[in-house]
Amino acid sequence: MIEFAHDIRQPLSTIEHLAYLLQVSTTDGKAAAYIEQIQDLIEQANRVLDNAMAALSCADLNPNITN
């Protein structure tokens, strides 16, 4: 799972960086709103990955727990 998380985070990080570059270079209000939405979705995806990693970590520590 760690490799999977890294494989997902790498492109998210690149997208986040590119969105930042767009944000600092645009004066278009509508474009800025879209960029902010992209940044929010990137944060959401990172939180999902963090939660999945935490859940798997707990499952590794407590293998007898079933859902």
Please report, for residues 28, 41, 43, 48, 49, the alpha-carbon distance to residue 55 in angstroms, rounded to integers and kept in the order given: 41, 21, 18, 10, 10
Name the amino acid, one letter, at 17.
H
pTM: 0.77
Q: pLDDT at position 33, please? A: 97
Domain boundaries, the chain: 2-61
pLDDT at 56: 85
The CA dihedral of 37, 42, 43, 44, to the nearest 10 degrees, is 90
pLDDT tens for each residue of the chain, 67 residues long: 678 888 999 999 999 999 999 999 999 999 999 999 999 999 999 999 999 989 888 876 666 655 5
| Cβ 42 vs Cβ 12: under 8 Å | yes
